[in-house]
Structure 1
């Protein structure tokens, strides 16, 4: 809504008032917009409020339904309306205080509930789940490490035997060499898997556990 639309709407809302009152009101707000300048039309409209609000204040004052109003530098001011705004602010502040108090009680209840839940998890679940996860992890790492070492040393041994065998029986020597190389390649692959588990998988699992813990218990325990 621009200046012309605002004044046109205000004039329409005041159409049942005496012509003199309408002219005074429209002239006042035209001057108000002129003094503010075209670049501040939107700001003036926000400060004044809707045309309906201004029209109601003017109509109430003219028709004697409220205390006498007057035109001021800040627009049409009506004492009853100002009192109403002050009362609304007080009620809003009271509602905010009650909401804050309720929020505090709610957070306190959540904190107590989450503490109890954490104790239950640590006692009844953590007593076997955490050791179980730790044992499985160590078992996987140990198994991969053992397989890696076994395949590397076995491959080296088989390769050495294949080289020795080539001096007597070339086909068997080549077969043993091929098997040795395959075992060495498998050992290297398992070594890479072991490094990935230690460097990537375990930290990722720990991070996810911490995120889940913080999401479910962190806020309630603050």
Structure 2
């Protein structure tokens, strides 16, 4: 089939359109062939499909989109169908993966919170027991100097470690909070 025969048959199918749409469609197809050149006419006809297919595609597009003339080749339509099918087939897998990812993030946040809480509780316990150890160590001054030094030194050690653990838990909590805020901003920016 030649370009002239193709356009003549296409013209016959497009006569159902309103006059403005008909003229615009014929002009579009004529220019499309002219831009491609005579050496690419067969490729264009293969891309568009039969004149009947090209006309019905165009009519459907005009009905869907109102007055706009938009033509999508059958090849592009086929690709759109493939993308839609991939999306539909991927949805059953994407939902469980999303739930798993959210559960993993939730678990990490809970574990981090539990670790911070544990370190803080140990810090408070050491801080509280250090007061008892210092008072107890000082009570042994009359019975033995070395025992008093050992009890008081252990109490001071507990006091230092307890304060360090409280400071560490506070700093870790601040870092975790800043990380969560940064990740939230990043996620909201990406949507």
- TM-score normalized by the length of structure 1: 0.41
Query: Larger radius of gyration, structure 1 or 2?
Result: 1
User: TM-score scaled to structure 2, two decimals?
Assistant: 0.47
